[in-house]
Structure 1
Amino acid sequence: MISAYGHEAGKPLECLSIEVVLEKEQFIDGNGLQAYRVGFKVGGGIDQDPSKAPYKYPDMGIYITQIDPDSPAEKAGLRQHDKILQVNGHDFTMLTHEKSVKYIKKYPVLHMLVARREIAPY
């Protein structure tokens, strides 16, 4: 079993993952338009320099760097430092930071696969 942490982008990956369904929270923004809230921020990506990141992750994956209290992300069970492997069937292991953010914003419901460091193989 290979760990998702320290994974080299583009190489096959087999690891334990956690399935998470996140239903975004709808609200009306300051302009009176309908918007959606996920309640998390991401860092990383194949276009980012990991040495300049506030958290030292072992690879260039997309990681959850912040979870807002009482947010859809917290209610769905996501945790800070979870590595996002997939969203709605889309591979997140070889993605730029900008594309990951755009993809997360695109859908009102996110079906995610994440890897969590403390989850050990059986």
Structure 2
Amino acid sequence: MAGHTAGEPLECYSIPIVLEKEQDIDQQGNPVLEPDGKQRYRCGFRIGGGIDQDPSQSPQGYPDKGVYVTFIHDNSPASRCGLQLHDKILQVNGKDFTVVTHKQAVESIRKKPVLKMLVYRKGVPQLPKSSNQMGAHTQFQAYNQHVPQQQYNAQQPQYHQQY
């Protein structure tokens, strides 16, 4: 998946993730409101990238103009739903994230209280061709059995957004 060009067909196994946001509260426990007076919700992750970004400026060394998870807060909706550092976001609520600007990605993530995402994760093993006949649930189970769970030291580069 190294060096995917935006807009080109992409063949990979995607991981479905459903993230339910939680109410954002301040240090006193009061709800945080948007400028329009609506309750603000938080996901607990930051992103970097987009088709308008230069991947050579990425502190993480991402190979392309995809949208990547650059930080995950502990005990957040993102950490609880299984999102992982360096996941490449392919789709959110049906919107193709392989051809979005950074700003478009931010707006799509902020829009809904539930994010139904498809992500690509480096290290997903290549399954045999015959696995195409397996159901998606079986493929996801096979993935979970083969990918080691790792802890990453997250650095906070300047160019990513927090939600």
Same-fold call, TM > 0.5?
yes
- Higher relative contact order structure (alpha carbons within 8 Å, sequence separation ≥ 6): 1
Report the structure, 1 or 2, having the larger strand content. 1
- 1:16-74, Cα deviation, whole Å (9 max, x unpaired): 01000000001311788511010000000110111222111010000000000000000
Unmatched 5+ stretches in structure 2: 25-30, 128-163
Report the structure, 1 or 2, having the larger helix content. 2
Instruction: Tell me the SS of whatever aligns to 2:98.
Output: coil
Matches within 5 A, 1:1-122: 3=1, 5-27=2-24, 28-29=31-32, 34-122=39-127
Unmatched 5+ stretches in structure 1: none
Q: Which has the larger radius of gyration?
A: 2
Change (3 A) 1:107 1:33: closer
Q: Structure 1: which 4+ aligned runs deviate by more than 3 Å?
A: 30-33
Change (3 A) 1:30 1:61: same
**Mean CA deviation greater in 45-54 or 61-70:** 45-54
Identity percentage of aligned residues = 57
Normalised to the residue count of structure 2, the TM-score between the two structures is: 0.69
Number of aligned residue pairs: 119
RMSD: 1.4
CA contact (8 A) 2:33 2:39 kept: no
Q: What letter is aligned with 2:49?
A: G
CA contact (8 A) 2:55 2:62 kept: yes
